[in-house]
Structure 1
């Protein structure tokens, strides 16, 4: 995981497609975020012929679920999600109002819960955390062709 001034992936000319969402504070926002991610990948495939293997689709929805869950659980206020697709990767960006930078905890099979960031680190190619004046932005990148294994 990289903690950086910038996420290293903000050049607008490298994206085939991008979209953003303001997620509501109600109990449906996590499911809505997963739905938005699936629809976005479908559109990337249809509009740009981006190959999206089912494994990448599943991992994208998992990462979206984990990041949005953490934002809803630990940050007061709004949550924003941006999805970006490039030729070989999809970026999931989640912004929340909590400025504290999260850290994955050491593996502990006996621990109940708090494995979200561990999971995200395990299934993404890159993970960037950027502190901002009013919160933080987390960017997770999943490779479209060689998605990392969850093992």
Structure 2
């Protein structure tokens, strides 16, 4: 949904079930496709894949570690896509030290590698995780 004069934005709510990460990944891909058409952006498949991967990792973390639903917002700001995920847990996620021998629990490492920084804030009903991915491409 985009309001006149507002930043291009889309949001969705998921129930936290195991299918939520896949649904969020598809939602992000659809949003990126709509942005490309509406704003005549040229985005590489690498950038679109990075957005899908980050969304999937963040929503997967919610499904594994936070009870109940989560919300996802995608916002085009300048030449970046801001990804915001809200959940009901007050626990702040902590990326573990890289360990190639560890099976699983690499999600925040992946997100940090793709986004550079993760902003986590406690909210009245849980927490919000926010990241930005630079978009390579400009309006035509």
TM-score of the alignment, normalized to the shorter chain, above 0.5: yes
Residue 99 of structure 2 is matched in structure 1 by 108
Match of 1:5 in 2: none
Of residues 115, 126, 134, the one that matches 2:125 is 134
CA offset digits 1:15-55 (Å, max 9, x no partner) = 64001101123332111100100000011111112232111
Distance 1:134 1:92 in 2: 19
Q: Which moved more, 1:68-77 or 1:132-141?
A: 132-141
Detail structure 1 runs of 4+ shifted over 3 Å in the superposition.
Answer: none
The alignment's C-alpha RMSD in Å is 2.0
The residue aligned with 1:87 is 78
Indicate the residue corresponding to 2:42 in structure 1.
51
Q: 1:91 to 1:139 in 2, by over 3 A?
A: same
* TM superposition shift of 1:133: 1.8
* 2:1 paired with 1:38: no
Q: Distance in 1 between matches of 2:86 and 2:6?
A: 19
Contact 1:45 1:51 in 2 (8 A): yes
| Alpha-carbon offset, residue 106 of structure 1 | 0.7
Gaps of 5+ in 2: none
> How many angstroms apart in 2 are the aligned matches of 1:15 and 1:62?
26
Please state how far the C-alpha of 1:118 moved relative to its aligned partner: 0.7
